[in-house]
Amino acid sequence: MSTPTHCLRCGADLSKTGSIMSKFNQDTICLDCKERERNHPAYPAADAAEIAAVERGEMNFPGVGCPRELYWFSLVQPGDALRPAPAWNRTERPNQHLASPTKVLRVTPANSQSGVLFTVKTLGGHERTLDAGWFLPPKSPQEKGA
């Protein structure tokens, strides 16, 4: 089992921000994201569901699931600049490489894990539409050598 070093919602460095467990799921998150979570309209129901689970003896209740809008990729808008995950430029051909940061041209909802696709332009001038998972959360630290 490994302890997360960065907030799963926004990418903040947890050694600087402090960390806490989400009420919605088992994400380890920063205190800012906890505050956002507490202000979410679904929070009281998530809290009640956890209390009910504990009362029936379910000590490892995984939570009711986190609303997607509490994750960083739900807040990205066209015109925002994102850094690509280093794995992209390592594995793609040079004309498919992305600048860091890269401007987001379009945001498209999708049935992918993150639920959102970002259209960007590669260094070769092609438009590519990639899952949000190919980009780093805005608050995550700069990769060495990137």
Binding site for Zn ion (CB under 5 A): 7, 9-10, 12, 30, 33
Contact 86, 80 (CB under 8 A): no
35 vs 127, which CB is nearer to Zn ion? 35
98 vs 116, which CB is nearer to Zn ion? 116
Query: How far apart are CB 140 and Zn ion at their closest, in Å?
Result: 10
Residue whose pair of structure tokens reads 């460095």 in the numeric block: 13
d(CA 26, CA 99): 33
16 vs 93, which CB is nearer to Zn ion? 16
Which of 74, 69, 52, 70 minimizes the C-alpha distance to 61? 52
Q: What are phi and psi of 82, to 5 degrees?
A: -125, 155
Query: How far apart are CB 86 and Zn ion at their closest, in Å?
Result: 21
Query: How far apart are CB 34 and Zn ion at their closest, in Å?
Result: 8
SS3 3: coil
11 vs 105, which CB is nearer to Zn ion? 11
Query: How far apart are CB 13 and Zn ion at their closest, in Å?
Result: 10
Tell me how long the chain is: 146
d(CA 57, CA 59): 6
